[in-house]
Amino acid sequence: MKRLLFIGDVVGRAGCDFLTEKLGGIKRQHGIDITIVNGENSAQGNGITRASADMLVRAGADIITTGNHAFRRKESLDIFDEEYIVRPANYPEGGCVGSGVRVLDMGAFSVAVINLMGTVYMDPLDNPFTKIDRLLEGLDTPNVFVDFHAEATSEKKAMGHYLTGRVTGVFGTHTHVQTADECILGGHTAYITDVGMVGPELSCLGVDIGPTVEMFRFRMPVKFSTAEGACFLCGTIVDFDEKKGKSHKIDRIIIR
């Protein structure tokens, strides 16, 4: 049996600092074998940069997943060549940097991490449901974890059910709000609609409250910045049989 930790969207410098402070202790306390972190908002002011990706790796991430802000920072697109960064696999083929699948060699076993993006209230990328069918055909490990970066809960639930018995875990990200529906689908697939975030808790998804409220009041452009104040960390821990790629247990964590 192996234990995987998945941590939701890390927001800004404050989120990176809090992850750095807490991750080592969480990994020791829970005996974590593999850590996946969503880092698409880890740069100060959105996106992911070389500096923020380095912070996540130094903090203890084995694989960094991303999402709709993956390519926001043009100056750092070369980081997608790194084996530890995965971008949504359903970006159009042919002209897009990086890879949507990474396989982590753990010695006695391996783990594939796939990143996909939803298409409901998001950019119109390739169909994530038909895309993952093709991706799964090409994998030769039973241990497959999917970060489904999506807005609509219906699309995430549908993906969880679609992949039941076919992958080890499906973790929803992007909404930054942890959901309480973690479960093992079909006695095989760990699932949660959204893992949550790492960053300032008293905020609008990690962003300063004032400008966000003003934007909703008057619909005028505002300057968003990462909120200040105490941070929290949201994640899930999954126990899985690495010989069969089958999850046995999923637990949510929130560290304040």
The footprint of Fe ion (CB under 5 A) covers 67-68, 174
Catalytic choice (69, 149, 174, 188) = 69
Nearer to Fe ion, 205 or 255 (CB): 205
| Residue matched to tokens 């893992």 | 195
Nearer to Fe ion, 123 or 228 (CB): 123
Nearer to Fe ion, 151 or 242 (CB): 151
* Smallest separation (angstroms) from Fe ion to the CB of 8: 10
What does each C-alpha distance from 143 to 2, 72, 103, 190, 206 come to in angstroms?
11, 30, 10, 12, 32
* Smallest separation (angstroms) from Fe ion to the CB of 239: 27
* Smallest separation (angstroms) from Fe ion to the CB of 69: 6
Nearer to Fe ion, 67 or 142 (CB): 67
Mind giving me the DSSP string for 14-48? HHHHHHHHHHHHHHHHHT-SEEEEE-TT-STTSS-
Beta carbons within 10 angstroms of residue 53's beta carbon: 24
173: left (phi over 0), alpha (psi -120 to 50) or beta: beta
Nearer to Fe ion, 142 or 200 (CB): 200
Whether residue 248 lies in the annotated active site:
no
Torsional sign, CA 58, 60, 63, 67: negative
* Smallest separation (angstroms) from Fe ion to the CB of 67: 4
* Smallest separation (angstroms) from Fe ion to the CB of 191: 19
- So which residues are the catalytic ones? 69
